Structures are given as structure tokens and as C-alpha cells.
Amino acid sequence: MTKQEQLLVDKGEMLPLMEEFYTIQGEGYHTGRAAYFIRVGGCDVGCHWCDVKESWNPDLHPATRITHIADQAASYAKTVVVTGGEPLMWNMHPLTDSLKDAGLNVHIETSGAYPLSGTWDWICLSPKKTKPPLSEIYERAHELKVIVYNQHDFKWAEEHASRVNENCLLFLQPEWSKREQMMPLISGYVMQHPKWRISLQTHKYIGIP
């Protein structure tokens, strides 16, 4: 990355873009809806079970102008999902301004570990143990999606559920490699605690990005 590109990235006018693609939302509340995904490189949260570890190093991904990203998104869909990596490592205001100017609904998937920037129609908070969310994100989240890797994660999920706003929707999602082991436990837990819903990575079942 050149010095000029780094300056533009710092301003949010360029972003390290890992990939962008049009697909079907596979997880959470919006499962089954067509959406354009913008995967931004860079993450220091470091989940050991992360399935996109290649996103962690932002230097591996080309600095891309947000005008290009917005134009691409607008040519495919009405709903855009910004994910990572951890997108809030970067200033999201310029990107979301461009996407909103194009008339798009703009969603984010975030660990909440960095201050919230940007204008969002939907905020999915997926907290991680290695770098917990900042307090400010809980009041703003529309959806809490907790990844369940072991039995202790149910208690951990409840700790976060106690902090979100009353309108936030609650989802438990099995970590992919543990899905056969954890799904019976998640199903039983949701039946005992019906405020929760089950989220599945349906895109992996049907073989799409």
C-alpha cells in the first residue's frame, strides 16, 4: 500500500477489500434474502475457529476506492452487508454515505470491538471472547448472534443478552465444525428459553458463498 493509499484508507475513502459478491444471506434474521456482501480486510479479534482467517491481514487486500465499491453494489442488489474481518477497524462513514446515496439498505456484521462508525439500517452484533464489544454497541444492535462452540457459551450468550436493548433479536448459531455436537443442545436450550432463535449457516448447506 502506498503512502497516498494509506492516507485515503485512514480517511475511509479507500478500504482494504478482500472480496465482494452477490449471494443469499445465510445467517441470522435476514436468512434467505438476496444481498451483496462487502468483505473488508483487517481483524485483530483472532477467533481460533474463524472461517475467513485470510481476512485478518489488511495488507494482503488491495486498497479500493469506496466509489467503486458502492457502484458495484448498486448494480446487483438493494441490500448490502458489510462484513470482515472486522469492518469497524476502519472509518465506515464514507462507505455508508456512498451506499445510502445509491438508495441501498446497509447492514453490518461486527464483533463490536471498535467504535461504531457509519449509518446502518441493520446492525448484527456477534461478540467474541478474545476482544469483547464496547458498551455503546449494545443499545444500537438490532440482532445479537452468538456463536456456540461449547456448553459454556450458553452462559456467555446470556451475559450479552442482558446488555442489549429490548428490541434486539437473539440468535444462537452453532460453530460450523461443532454443529453436529452442539445442535441438539442449542435446540433444547431454545425450547427452554424461547426468547432465543436458532441461526444456521444455510449458505454452507446449499453450497454458495
Domain harbouring 66, CATH code: 3.20.20.70
Q: Whole domain around residue 120: which residue ranges?
A: 3-206
Q: Are 143 and 122 in contact (CB under 8 A)?
A: yes
Higher-confidence position of 98 and 4: 98
State pLDDT tens for residues 9-23. 989 999 999 999 999
Please tell me the total count of domains within the chain.
Answer: 1
d(CA 3, CA 19): 22
State pLDDT tens for residues 128-151. 999 999 999 999 999 999 999 999
**Listing from the earlier edge strand, what are the strands of the sheet with 79-83?**
63-65, 14-24, 34-40, 79-83, 105-110, 122-125, 143-148, 169-174, 196-198
d(CA 173, CA 83): 17
d(CA 97, CA 103): 10
> pTM to 2 decimals?
0.95
Q: In the predicted model, what is the mean pLDDT of residues 17-38?
A: 97
Name the pLDDT band for 173 (thresholds 50, 70, 90): very high
- Would the pLDDT of 51 be above 90? no
